Amino acid sequence: MGNPFLRSSPGEAHFFDNDENYALGADHYLELMPEANEFHYVFEKTPSYFTLKKVPSRIAQFKKNIKIIAILCDPVKRTLSHFLHVHANKIKITKNKERKEVHLHPDATIIDVLGSIFSKKSIDYLKTDKFNPQKHQAARNEFLRYLEKHDDRKPHNFVTRGAYAFHINIWKKYLREDQMLFISGSDLSQQPAKTVMQIQDFLGVPKILNDNHFFFNKTSGFYCLQSPGKHKPDCIGAHCGGKGRSKNATLSENTNYLLKRVFGTIKFDLDEALNRTFNY
């Protein structure tokens, strides 16, 4: 993050979400962490922790006063970015299938996923521009029933990971509200200094980073952080743009609209879970 009082582990630890790693115990997990002294705050970044049902209880048991931070991006953009990330990795791993993978299009996969979550009746309703309270509630209930019944799995998690309220409500069973911070992806990319100040305040670390450490990169279109003592800046917008994967990629207009309607069925749940109107 750039604050010298924060130390991050390299890569994603995948300790609390991976049963084999978790079985190795807390000492193994601590070995993955960087060296730190009593003034440092140590953290790690494993995105899948947020959406796996078994993780919140494991983390709560590990350390009583632990804190979590989640960046919540526009769920439609998150869906596309997730798809592109998965298939970019497949291209790297399986070079002989590169041509096939490059031509895969997200629309067909996402439509298939939605068809296995929602009834045809609900899909037909969500495709319209009309609002019907009963049909809206029926679609919401179908989404929640699917989430209750199934854990995080591919390819459905292209969509289900964007059901933020459902996942937050599980976390709220194990952690206090003052242990959780949910950041808007648009706030982070458009008002990075203000957001980073909020993060520093939440963590209780000295507010080293401020407006003077951010600049707008016209080439990338993102704000960048020039951390004290570092030569290379970090671009903030990459967090919700999938490291640039989805900045210029698009879904079809119909799929994009359908996803907006899908996530619209549970938007009030998110506002209720966070006790505020949340803007992605």
CA dihedral 116, 122, 125, 129 (to 10 degrees): -70
Evaluate if residue 1 carries a pLDDT over 80.
no
Evaluate if residue 265 carries a pLDDT over 60.
yes
Tell me, what's the pLDDT at 234? 80
Give mean pLDDT, residues 27-56. Answer: 94
Domain ranges of the chain: 1-280
Give mean pLDDT, residues 205-218. Answer: 91
Give mean pLDDT, residues 15-29. Answer: 97
Residues 158, 113 contacting (CB under 8 angstroms): yes
Residues 274, 182 contacting (CB under 8 angstroms): yes
Mean pLDDT of the chain: 90
Residue 41, classified by CB atoms within 10 Å of its CB into exposed (0-12), middle (13-18) or buried (19+), is middle
Closest alpha carbon to 2 in 43, 35, 37 = 43
> For residues 255 and 83, what is the distance between their CA atoms, to the nearest angstrom?
14
Instruction: For helices 106-117 and 133-149, give the axis angle rounded to 10 degrees.
Output: 100
Q: For residue 129, what is the DSSP state?
A: S
Evaluate if residue 243 carries a pLDDT over 70.
no
Among 10-14, 114-118, 121-125, 241-245, whose mean pLDDT is lowest?
A: 241-245
* Feature table: binding site: 81, 223
Bridge partners (DSSP) of residue 225 are 214, 234
Residues 205, 216 contacting (CB under 8 angstroms): no
State percent of the chain over pLDDT 90: 74
> For residues 229 and 178, what is the distance between their CA atoms, to the nearest angstrom?
31
Closest alpha carbon to 266 in 153, 149, 129, 161 = 161
Evaluate if residue 53 carries a pLDDT over 90.
yes
CATH number of the domain at 1-280, out of 3.40.440.10, 3.40.109.10, 3.40.50.2300, 3.40.50.300?
A: 3.40.50.300
Bridge partners (DSSP) of residue 72 are 184
Q: What is the pLDDT of residues 74-126, one digit of tens each?
A: 999 999 999 998 877 665 545 555 444 444 579 999 999 999 999 999 999 99
Closest alpha carbon to 73 in 268, 209, 270, 221 = 270
Tell me, what's the pLDDT at 20? 98
Bridge partners (DSSP) of residue 214 are 225
User: Within its chain, how far is the Cα of 264 from the centroid?
Assistant: 17
Its pTM surpasses 0.85: yes
Longest dimension (CA), the chain: 58
Residues 279, 183 contacting (CB under 8 angstroms): no
User: Residues 6 or more apart from 15 whose CB is under 8 A from it?
Assistant: 21, 22, 28, 29, 32, 46
Query: 223 φ, ψ to 5°?
Result: -75, 145
Residues 234, 225 contacting (CB under 8 angstroms): yes
Q: What is the pLDDT of residues 135-181, one digit of tens each?
A: 999 999 999 999 999 999 989 999 999 999 999 999 999 999 999 99
> For residues 181 and 91, what is the distance between their CA atoms, to the nearest angstrom?
35
CA angle 178, 183, 185 (to 5 degrees): 175
Tell me, what's the pLDDT at 248? 56
Q: For residue 5, what is the DSSP state?
A: T
Q: How many CA atoms lie within 13 A of 97 on its CB side?
A: 10
* Feature table: binding site for 3'-phosphoadenylyl sulfate: 81, 223
Evaluate if residue 16 carries a pLDDT over 60.
yes
